[in-house]
Chain A
Amino acid sequence: MKITDILTLYDKILIVFVIILSLVLLLIPFYFFGGSAEGEELILRVQQGDELIKTVAVADSYQEPIIFKVQGPIGVHTIEVNQGRVRVKEAPADDPLKICEKTGWIDREGPIIVCVPNSLSLWLESTNSDIDGMSW
């Protein structure tokens, strides 16, 4: 029995619709951010709940890595800024999924590192960008 015997016409329509929808959604951030411009400065913003708790200029991380800790309800996050990239170096032991740690490095505008149990989010923002990270 082949897969084409199981798939109905409406299944195929649904699949094509989902692909188109997600591609359109994928392209929206690119429309806003474009390519990285020359001489742009990235800023790391750390937000907990709806409160901005820390801002770090990523350019400072080229000499030596910046490592700092953020306290949340379930524990302490160790965040590392190194060579213009950002990651969560260590998630709290109580975080069952450790998604923030698994996300790895981010080095441009767009991706975001989140730790939902600690309501923590980290993202990079370009200083010469017209829109801020919250407006899209």
Chain B
Amino acid sequence: MSKTIKYHVRNPDIVFREEFDDWAILFDPDTGNVFGLNPTGALAWKMLDGTTSVKEIAEAMMRLFSNVPEEAPAEIMQFIDELVERGYVGQDVTTP
């Protein structure tokens, strides 16, 4: 039985703080770990709402940022994978 990851959702315990230059900070109050996000990372974080796909995030980036590279979807996925690994993001997994 295979599992399909449909959407990703932010861990509500992680504190997100956006700053004046569109960079942002993720802070895990339990561990004290701090992540700085660049503007594209911050946008991706805000779209991890459990209903938006990676493809849709990449499309939003294409609209909002200039010179977005072709490999953007892969980079977004890599970014999300790292957040998942750290427990900052959860996965909505369905079983077909």
Q: Do A and B bind each other?
A: no
Residues on A facing B (Cβ under 8 Å): none
